[in-house]
């Protein structure tokens, strides 16, 4: 446990610097955007030059850039992301409202891609060079070349328009007044297509990593030793070869989280899923830059958090990790 | 055996090379085969494919020639993909070399910046950048490169760290070469091969990102893009799914071609290394 704690402490210190850089970056982008919050406000309410002057002063927009950066940081420390012009509500509230949907989408897609991907990877890597190995390798490469949003559209054409098995979009049936398990099943049926579109692309990645890791592991001495001990092939594949190839996949899980958040923007737009990604697209369409940058900040925090979880999982799986820090 | 023939011997690499050659031909021949504006109206709207041989793939919702759009779209996809990947590789190689060679505080600061760029989802970053600066071909290239340089930077840094202790670098120091000259003339060229090995993955990712950006309406509005065609076809997805599916297939083939050719190159060079 001390190992994990030491790791968390070191990671948190590093994350503070990384977050600071992200905040400065978003501030610079906000500055580069044409117009400021007052312009956006005036467009929706109307007002004369005197009022613009007054608003700029009261919102602190007439101060120097450094002061404004300090104000921005100070507000962020109080978890205040500012006001969204399009929604006329605090950005934090808008984001928090959309976040759970995206987390469910990402979580399910990750479970699908990791579970099925590593299983197929084990199947392919159990017999390197066999027909099924080559078939799955080429197939996964082809799958990896598919744009997620296009796969989503193809799935809609087949399963929602053609076969009418699944709903075409949204997160639940409108005004259905369902409750409890009934409602959960309704949401699940809406999530099947978006989760598949998002998950299948990354499935290829895990499959290929698993397969490559296993090809590497087959050449190791401990596999020879396991063979010499007369273990069954099944046992060697699962307990020795696949187990060693699994660790890099866990690291990939953290690295992919940022990619998947980005991918969910297009997937949520295709399926009209009201999550964080769709919110980002709405922010772009409405030219609501503060909202968009708020989403970026929240995403960065989310990615840091996921990577922290992955590091802890890794430390628990691999006794070598962090051993030196715990001793120090 | 010369490297090119060895490269073409693996079936995957051969397939990749054929696909890429076909695409390059498509991109180069587009203005010759389909002169004039591909966004101009060419016939009746929503003409199904294989009906009229002057418009083999039919027309879209506004009566534009789908085949002409497909050819001109290849130009945009390849141009943006290659330019963004080149920019990402150059930025990554320079920053990685500086970080690895300078060490100390410079290394620490540059690597934290790299961390920050890897923490922000690159697609969201590209989205924000294009929406703030405004969509044009150059802006899209920069936006994609902004999210893609971190991988090359890390690889270049790791490579530089191992090279900078070698004898020829010590030799360059002894003869009084300027540190920047050592970094970029002596070390960088030697650190390049593993960085360049990333290029197929980066080109592929750049093409997919460009497609996603134009799908969301953030591509250059004056150019035909496959992503834009898919978005356009989406409005008539129920009646004419063909319009979204065809440009998507072109994208899949392109990216697959890039991957296959890339794997072929890596395999060829790996064989060469193990032979020597």
Question: Per-residue pLDDT tens for A218-234?
Answer: 888 887 888 888 888 88
Beta bridge partners of B52: B55
Helix axes B66-102 and B137-146, enclosed angle (nearest 10): 40
In percent, how much of chain A has pLDDT > 70?
Answer: 90
Is 60 exceeded by the pLDDT of residue B226?
A: yes
Q: pLDDT-based confidence at A328, cuts 50/70/90?
A: very low
CA distance B47 to B243: 10
* Tens-digit pLDDT profile for residues B241-271: 888 889 999 999 999 999 888 888 777 766 5
* pLDDT, position B123: 92
B211 touches chain A (CB under 8 A): yes
* pLDDT, position B274: 52
Is 80 exceeded by the pLDDT of residue B53?
A: no
A17 CB-near residues (< 8 Å, 6+ apart): B112
Beta bridge partners of B59: B65
Residue with tokens 């307990």: A239
DSSP state of A83: E
Q: Which three-class secondary structure state does DSSP give residue B55? A: strand
Question: Which H helix or E strand runs over B113?
Answer: helix B104-119
Is 70 exceeded by the pLDDT of residue B272?
A: no
CA distance B17 to B260: 8
User: What is the average pLDDT value for chain B, to the nearest integer?
Assistant: 85
Is 60 exceeded by the pLDDT of residue A157?
A: yes
CB B136 within 8 A of CB B220: yes
Q: pLDDT-based confidence at B144, cuts 50/70/90?
A: very high
Interface contact flag, B259 A161, Cβ < 8 Å: no
Q: pLDDT-based confidence at A326, cuts 50/70/90?
A: very low
Is 70 exceeded by the pLDDT of residue B185?
A: yes
B208 to chain A: which residues are within 8 Å by CB? Answer: 147
Pairwise pLDDT comparison (A90 vs A33), residue with the higher score = A90
B16 to chain A: which residues are within 8 Å by CB? Answer: none
Pairwise pLDDT comparison (A217 vs A326), residue with the higher score = A217
Is 90 exceeded by the pLDDT of residue A257?
A: no
Interface contact flag, A299 B123, Cβ < 8 Å: no
B270 touches chain A (CB under 8 A): no
Query: Nearest CA of chain A to the CA of B167: how many Å?
Result: 32
Is 60 exceeded by the pLDDT of residue A62?
A: yes
A144 to chain B: which residues are within 8 Å by CB? Answer: 259
* Tens-digit pLDDT profile for residues A278-287: 999 888 888 8
Is 90 exceeded by the pLDDT of residue B88?
A: yes
* pLDDT, position A187: 81
Kindly tell me the burial class for residue B72, based on how many C-beta atoms sit within 10 Å of its own C-beta (0-12, 13-18, 19 or more). Answer: buried
Neighbour count for residue A176 (Cβ, 10 Å)? 10
In percent, how much of chain B has pLDDT > 70?
Answer: 94
When the candidates are 3.30.465.10, 1.10.150.250, 1.10.3720.10, 1.10.10.10, the CATH number that belongs to A97-285 is 1.10.3720.10
Lowest mean pLDDT among A147-156, A157-166, B95-104: A157-166
Q: Both tokens of residue A289?
A: 């830059």
Residue with tokens 């399926």: A271
Per mean pLDDT, which of A49-53, A312-316, B256-260 is the most reliable? B256-260
CA distances from A49 to A39, A45, A58, A68, A262 (A): 11, 13, 14, 22, 40
Is 60 exceeded by the pLDDT of residue A316?
A: yes
Query: Nearest CA of chain A to the CA of B177: how many Å?
Result: 34
CA distance B116 to B110: 10
CA distance A77 to A304: 17
CB A205 within 8 A of CB A117: yes
Q: Which three-class secondary structure state does DSSP give residue A84? A: strand
Phi–psi pair at B59, nearest 5 degrees: -130, 165
What is the arithmetic mean of pLDDT over A236-262? 83
Is 60 exceeded by the pLDDT of residue A190?
A: yes
For the entire predicted model, the pTM comes to 0.87
User: For residue A100, which of A298, A308, A296 has the smallest C-alpha distance?
Assistant: A298
Question: Which H helix or E strand runs over A256?
Answer: helix A243-271
CB A127 within 8 A of CB A236: no
Residue of B nearest to A154 (CA): B245
Phi–psi pair at A35, nearest 5 degrees: 80, 160
ipTM over 0.90: no
What is the arithmetic mean of pLDDT over A42-68? 72
Interface contact flag, B120 A258, Cβ < 8 Å: yes
User: For residue A69, which of A110, A23, A16, A113 has the smallest C-alpha distance?
Assistant: A23
Instruction: Please report the domains of chain B, with CATH numbers, ordered by start residue.
Output: 3-43+57-275 (1.10.3720.10)
Query: Nearest CA of chain B to the CA of A254: how many Å?
Result: 10
* Tens-digit pLDDT profile for residues B93-104: 999 999 998 888
First to last CA, chain B: 13
What is the arithmetic mean of pLDDT over B20-41? 82
Lowest mean pLDDT among A172-176, B66-70, B114-118, B184-188: A172-176
B12 to chain A: which residues are within 8 Å by CB? Answer: 138
- From its phi and psi, is residue A261 left (phi > 0), alpha (psi between -120 and 50) or beta? alpha
Beta bridge partners of A89: A84
Interface contact flag, B259 A141, Cβ < 8 Å: yes
* pLDDT, position A327: 42
Pairwise pLDDT comparison (B176 vs A328), residue with the higher score = B176
Pairwise pLDDT comparison (A85 vs B257), residue with the higher score = B257
User: For residue B206, which of B104, B95, B98, B76 has the smallest C-alpha distance?
Assistant: B76
* Tens-digit pLDDT profile for residues A301-312: 999 999 888 888
What is the arithmetic mean of pLDDT over B149-172? 89
Is 70 exceeded by the pLDDT of residue A59?
A: no
- From its phi and psi, is residue B36 left (phi > 0), alpha (psi between -120 and 50) or beta? left
């Amino acid at each position: 446990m001390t190992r994990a704690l030491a790791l968390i402490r070191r990671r948190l210190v590093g994350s503070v610097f990384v977050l600071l850089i992200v905040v400065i970056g978003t501030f610079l982008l906000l500055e580069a955007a044409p117009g400021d919050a007052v312009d956006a406000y005036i467009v929706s309410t109307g007002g004369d030059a005197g009022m613009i002057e007054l608003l700029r002063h009261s919102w602190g927009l007439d101060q120097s850039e450094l002061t404004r950066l300090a104000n921005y940081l100070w507000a962020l420390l109080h978890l205040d992301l500012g006001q969204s012009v399009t929604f006329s509500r605090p950005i934090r509230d808008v984001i928090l409202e959309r976040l759970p949907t995206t987390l469910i989408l990402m979580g399910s897609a990750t479970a699908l891609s990791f579970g099925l991907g590593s299983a197929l990877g084990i199947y392919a890597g159990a017999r390197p060079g066999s027909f099924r190995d080559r078939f799955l390798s080429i197939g996964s490469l082809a799958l990896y070349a598919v744009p997620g949003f296009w796969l989503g559209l193809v799935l809609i054409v087949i399963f929602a328009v053609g076969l009418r098995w699944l709903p075409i979009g949204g997160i639940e049936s409108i005004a259905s007044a369902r409750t409890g398990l009934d409602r959960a099943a309704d949401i699940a049926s809406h999530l099947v297509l978006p989760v598949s579109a998002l998950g299948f692309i990354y499935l290829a990645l895990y499959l290929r990593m698993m397969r490559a890791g296993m090809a590497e592991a087959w050449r190791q001495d401990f596999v020879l030793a396991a063979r010499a001990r007369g273990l069954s092939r099944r046992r060697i594949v699962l307990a020795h070869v696949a187990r060693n190839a699994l660790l890099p996949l866990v690291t990939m899980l953290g690295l992919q989280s940022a990619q998947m958040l980005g991918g969910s923007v297009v997937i949520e737009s295709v399926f009209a899923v009201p999550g964080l990604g769709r919110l980002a697209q709405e922010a772009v369409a409405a030219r609501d830059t503060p909202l968009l940058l708020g989403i970026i900040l929240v995403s960065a925090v989310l990615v840091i958090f996921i990577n922290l979880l992955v590091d802890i999982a890794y430390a628990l799986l691999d006794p070598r990790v962090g051993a030196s820090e715990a001793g120090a | 055996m010369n490297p090119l023939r060895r490269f073409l011997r693996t079936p995957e690499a051969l397939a990749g090379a054929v696909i890429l050659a076909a695409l390059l031909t498509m991109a180069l021949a587009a203005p010759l085969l389909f002169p004039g504006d591909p966004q101009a109206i060419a016939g009746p709207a929503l003409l199904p494919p294989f009906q009229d041989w002057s418009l083999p793939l039919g027309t879209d919702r506004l009566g534009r020639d789908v085949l002409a759009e497909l050819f001109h779209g290849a130009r945009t996809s390849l141009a943006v993909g290659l330019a963004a990947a080149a920019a990402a590789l150059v930025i990554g190689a320079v920053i990685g070399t500086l970080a690895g060679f300078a060490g100390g505080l410079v290394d620490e600061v540059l690597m934290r910046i790299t961390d920050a760029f890897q923490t922000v989802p690159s697609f969201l970053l590209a989205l924000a950048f294009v929406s703030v600066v405004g969509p044009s071909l150059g802006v899209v290239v920069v936006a994609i490169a902004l999210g893609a340089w971190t991988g090359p930077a890390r690889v270049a840094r790791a490579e530089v760290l191992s090279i900078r202790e070698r004898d020829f670098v010590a030799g360059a120091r002894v003869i009084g070469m300027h540190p920047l000259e050592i970094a970029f003339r002596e070390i960088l060229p030697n650190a390049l091969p593993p960085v360049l090995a990333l290029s197929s993955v980066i080109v592929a990712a750049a093409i997919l990102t460009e497609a996603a950006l134009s799908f969301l309406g953030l591509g250059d509005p004056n150019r035909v893009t496959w992503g834009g065609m898919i978005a356009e076809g989406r409005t008539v997805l129920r009646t004419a799914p063909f319009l979204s599916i065809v440009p998507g297939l072109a994208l899949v083939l392109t990216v697959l071609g890039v991957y296959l050719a890339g794997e072929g190159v890596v395999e060829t060079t790996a064989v060469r290394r193990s032979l020597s």
